[in-house]
Structure 1
Amino acid sequence: MRAYKAKSVERIELPDREARERHLHEAGYNVFNLDAEAVFVDLLTDSGTGAMSDEQWAAIHRGDESYAGSESFQNLEAAIEDVMGFSRIVPAHQGRGAENVLYGALVSEGEYVPNNTHFDTTRAHIVNAGGEPVDCPIESDPGDPFQGNLDTEAVRELANEVGAERIPAVVVTITNNSLAGQPVSIANLREARAVADELDARLVIDACRFAENAYFVAQREAEFDGESVASIAREQLSMADAIVMSGKKDGLANVGGFVGVRENDDEFYEQARQRGILFEGFSTYGGMAGRDLEAMAVGLREAVERPYIESRVEQVAELGTLLQEVSVPIRTPTGGHAVYVDAGEFLPSIPREEFPGQALVCALYEEGGVRAVELGELAFPGEDRAQLVRLCLPRRTYFRDHLEHVAETFATVADRREELPGYEIVDEPAMAELRHFSAELRPLD
C-alpha cells in the first residue's frame, strides 16, 4: 500500500515509434543524451528525481538565503545529528560534490581504497586523487539476505599485499548500488569497523541509501527484529568515522549532499571544510540554496518513517515480481531502490564486448519509451562483473500502471531479442570511469 497520495501531477507522453528511433539515433545510442520530454517512464536514476512531500514544499518557503550562518543550515545540522548521529558536516551541492570533498582530503597518490563495491563517481574521485579503488564484495548465493556485504578478509589480504599504511580508509556503501542494490548487515559493518581499526584506517560509510539499508536490517537481521528503522539507521552509522551522502537519495530532496565527520577528528574535519569552501561554497550553504537545506532537513526525517520506507521498498519488489512474471532474469532478492536485470542472460547472443546491457537499454527505449541505465562493460570497462541493467525507481513518483508498462515493454523486447544488435563506441571521454555518461555508440551490423 502506498503511504502517500498525489497532490500535484505532471503530464507525460509516449512519443511514437518513429520519433523514439530518431531520438535514440540523435543521442548517439546513449540514453543519458535523451531529452527528458522524449521519455515516458524514466528509470535512469533515483538521484534527485523523486517527488517531495507537502512538508518539504512548506519548508522551502522558510529558506534562509543568508550566505553565512543560515538558520536553514542549522536546521539541516540538527536533522543530520538526530537522524544520523553526526554533528559536524560539510555541505555540498550533491553527492559527487561531497565525494570530491571527502576523497580529495582523504586519498593521496599511490594509496588504495577498498570498498564493498565502488560506484562510478566514487571510483572516479579516488582515481582523480591518485588512488586505486579496489572492490571487495563477498561471494554470495541468490537469496542470501545481505549480498552487499564487504569481504573483510579480502581487505586484510590487500593490506598484506600493499602495506596497511597505504590504505587510508575502508569504505562500505549502503546499500551496495553497484552490486544490485543489495543491503549490508550491521554485523558486517562491525567487522568493517574492526578491520579499519587493525589497519589504522578510517571507516567511511557511503550513506546515500542508509534508510533503505536500515529497513532491510529490520527485516532480515535477527538481532534487530522489532527495532525501529530510525534506531537501526543510527546504529549502522555509529560504526563510521566519516560518512558521505547524496541528499538526492534518502534525503528525499532534488539537490544537495554532505560529508559528516566525527567530533574527535578535528584535523580531518578542517581539511574537508576548507576543501568544501574551495569547491562547493561557504560552510553554511555548500552550493545549496537555503530552501534546499530546508527540504533535505525534512526529507531525512521522513526517510526513516516506517510507512514511507516500507512502501518505497515494496514498490521496488512489486516491479521485480512483474518482471519475473514475464520471465525477465533479475537479481534476487530485489534491492531498495532498483531492480537489476541480468542483460547477459537476457541477451546471450551478444558478447560483453558488444555491450549487451546497452543493447537492452536501447531496445527498452525504442519499444516503450522506458529509460534505464547500463551497469556492465560500458559503465565499468574491463571488470569481471555481470552485465546488468538497472531500473531505478524515483521516490513517490510512479504507480502500478507505470510498472506494468515497463513489464509489457520487456515482454515485447523479449519477443524480438534475437534481432537486437550489439554496439560499438564511436566517441568516448578520456576518463574511462565516466565514459557511460557521455560516450556515443552505434549499432553493429
Structure 2
Amino acid sequence: MNTIIEPFRIKSVEPIYFSSRNERTDILKHAYYNPFLIKARDVIIDLLTDSGTSAMSGEQWAGVMRGDESYAGSDSFFRFEKVVNEITGMPFIIPTHQGRASERILFSITGGDGKYVLSNTLFDTTRANVEFSGAEGIDLRCAESNDPDAPAPFKGNMDAAALQTFVEQHGAARVSLVILTVTNNSGGGQPVSMANIKEVSSICRACRIPLFIDACRFAENAYFIKQRERGYGMKSVFQIAREMFSYADGCMMSAKKDAFANIGGFLAVWDEQLAEKCRNLLIITEGFPTYGGLAGRDLEAIAIGLREVMDEQYLRYRIRSIQYIGEKLDTFGIPYVKPTGGHALYLNAGRFMDHIPVHQYPGQALCNSLYLEGGIRGVEIGSVMFGKYAADGNLLSPPMELVRLAIPRRVYTQSHIDYVAEVIAEVYKKRRKFRGYRLTYEPPMLRHFTARFEPII
C-alpha cells in the first residue's frame, strides 16, 4: 500500500475554535505581532513547537494513574531510571522538570568565563544557559548545512575538521564541553550520522573534552541513520540509539519531545563525581534526586513514552508525514530546507520573503502572515531568535532566516496537514503584500519569547 496511515486510533478529542481573518488581525495586533503572545484558543493549527505538545497514549495515561508520589525513592523513579539506563547505557540518571533545567545544572558546573561550548548548532535555551554561565557557545556546522537546497542526507553533522582546528588554536583546557544536538533543531531538524558522532567522539577523547548528546529527538535521529547510513539498515532503532550514546560522556534530554511527555527531562552521565555535583544543584532548585521537580506520574509517562517512541511503524509515519508537507510545497515552488527533517518543516523565510531585508525580520513577517491567513502559529528561527548586535549597533544575522513549523506528535491528521500546505501556498501567492517589522521591546536574553514588534508601513 502507498498510503501511510496514522499508526494509532484517536480516543479523545478537543475542539478547535475557528477565528475569522478580521479577528486574527486584531488578535495579532494585541499580541504585539509576536505569535508567542497569542492565546492558544485563538490558534487553529498550533505548530509553534513539538515540545510538550504530544498526545500521550492510553498506556501513558494508565501510567499517570499508577504514579507513585512518594517524595523519596518512589517506584516510578526506579522504573524511569531503568528505561533511561537501558537506552543510554549510562549509570547515573538525574531527572529534571524539563530540558533547560538540565542545561542550567550542567553549564553551571562546566561553564564559566573564558570557556567555550562547541556544538553542531546550539538551540535557543541551550545557548542562553551557556552564555548565562559566562561561557561562549560556538557553532561548527558542516558545510552542506548552509545550503538549504542541498539534498545531503546528514546536514545536521558537526564540522569535525573545524572542531580539531578550534581545539588546536584555543587549547583543549578552554573547551568545557562539546554538544551534538540530534536531530539538529536550529539547522533545519537535520540528522547527525553515526560516522560523524564517532569522529567527533574520537577527537574529544583524544583531547580529554567531554562529549554530550542533546537527545531530545534521539529516536528520530536513529531512524534516519537506519534509513540513510550504510550498515544500519538491519539494526533496530534501539540498537542504533544505544550505539549513539556509547560514544558520549553524557546526555541531556527534554522528555517533552521524543518521550511524548507534557513535561520532564533528565541528565545522564558516566562520571560519578559529575553526577554528584549535578545532584547537589538539583536539590537546591529542582527537588530530591528521585523526583527532580517532577511528579511520579510524569516519571511514569516518560518511561513509557521512551519505549513507545522506538516503534518503527510510528517513526516511519512520523518522518513520512514531514516529507508529505514538503512534497505538497514542491508543486508551488515554495522554498524550504531540504531534505525535510524529523520533527518540523523549515520554510526558507529569506527566500520566501525576499523583498523584506534582514533587519526587518522576514521570518517574523512570514510567521505573522501564516497566522493572519490561516490561523497557523509557527516560530521564527533567524535574526529575531539568534540575531546579535555589533559594536556599532548593527544587526548580526545567523546564516539562515527560517520559520519552523513543528508538528506535535500524534496530534494532527492528514487533513490538518493538507490545510497547512494550502495556507502556506496562499501566503506565497500574496507574499509581496506583506511587510517587515521593527522591534519596539526586547529583553536581554531569549528575546523572541517576549519581544514586541510593530509593522513597517
Q: TM-score, normalised by structure 1?
A: 0.98
1:444 aligns with 2:456: yes
Matched, 1:180 2:192: no
CA contact (8 A) 2:361 2:437 kept: yes
Contact 2:92 2:272 in 1 (8 A): no
Shift of residue 444, structure 1, vs aligned partner:
0.3
Residue-by-residue CA offset, 1:93-139 (whole Å, 9 max, x unaligned):
01111111111122122101110001000100000011000000100
- Quote the residue 1:422 is aligned against: 436
| Distance in 2 (alpha carbons) for counterparts of 1:122 and 1:384 | 16
- 1:442 offset after TM fit, Å? 0.6
1:371 pairs with 2:391:
no
Amino acid at match of 2:404: R
> Secondary structure of 2:440's match?
strand
* Residue 30 (str. 1) matches residue 30 (str. 2): no
Unpaired stretches in structure 1, ≥5 consecutive residues: none
| Residue matched to 1:395 | 409
1:102 matched to 2:106? The reply is yes
- Alpha carbons 1:48, 1:253 under 8 Å: kept: yes
Match of 2:16 among 12, 16, 19: 12
CA-to-aligned-CA distance 1:156-176 (integer Å, 9 cap, x gap): 222222221100111100000
- Whether 1:289 and 2:295 are equivalent positions in the alignment is yes
Identity %: 46
The match for 1:85 among 89, 97, 111 is: 89
2:393 is aligned to: none
Structure 2: how far apart are the matches of 1:266 and 1:59?
Answer: 30
Distance 2:90 2:449 in 1: 32
Corresponding position of 2:447? 435
**Gaps (5+ residues) in structure 2?**
388-395
Write the mapping of 1:9-408 to structure 2, written as runs, cut at 5 A: 9-140=13-144, 142-262=150-270, 265-381=271-387, 382-408=396-422
- Out of 275-284 and 392-401, give the one that drifted further: 275-284
How many residues are paired up? 441
d(CA) in 1 for partners of 2:161, 2:173: 17
The separation in 1 between residues aligned to 2:384 and 2:131, in whole angstroms, is 18
In the alignment, the residues of structure 2 paired with residue 147 and residue 304 of structure 1 have an alpha-carbon distance, to the nearest angstrom, of 22
- 2-side partners of 1:114 and 1:399: how far apart? 38
In the alignment, residue 395 of structure 1 is paired with which amino acid? R
Contact 1:343 1:357 in 2 (8 A): yes
Report the alpha carbon displacement of residue 227 of structure 1 after superposing the two structures with TM.
0.8
Q: How far, CA to CA, are the matches of 2:140 and 2:431 in structure 1?
A: 34
Q: Is the 8 A contact 2:356 2:436 kept in 1?
A: yes
Q: Which amino acid aligns with 1:22?
A: D
Cα deviation, residue 415, structure 1: 2.1
Residue-by-residue CA offset, 1:2-26 (whole Å, 9 max, x unaligned): 1111011111022011110111001
Q: CA deviation at 1:383?
A: 3.5
1:309 CA displacement: 1.3
**How far apart, in 1, do the equivalents of 2:303 and 2:13 lie?**
24
Cα distance in 2 for residues equivalent to 1:35 and 1:316: 26
Matched-pair contact (CA < 8 Å) for 1:15–1:38: yes
- The match for 1:413 is 427
Measured after TM superposition, the shift of residue 86 of structure 1 is 2.2
C-alpha distance in structure 2 between counterparts of 1:112 and 1:55, whole Å? 42
Q: 1:87: Cα distance to partner?
A: 2.6
Rounded to whole Å, the distance in 1 between the matches of 2:83 and 2:386 is 35
CA contact 2:99–2:252 (8 Å) conserved in 1: yes
Distance across 2 between alignment mates of 1:339 and 1:75: 34
CA contact 2:358–2:397 (8 Å) conserved in 1: no
Letter of the 1:190 partner, please give it.
K
What is the RMSD computed on CA atoms of the aligned residues?
1.0
Q: Is the 8 A contact 2:85 2:93 kept in 1?
A: no
Mapped partners of 1:328, 1:134: distance in 2:
31
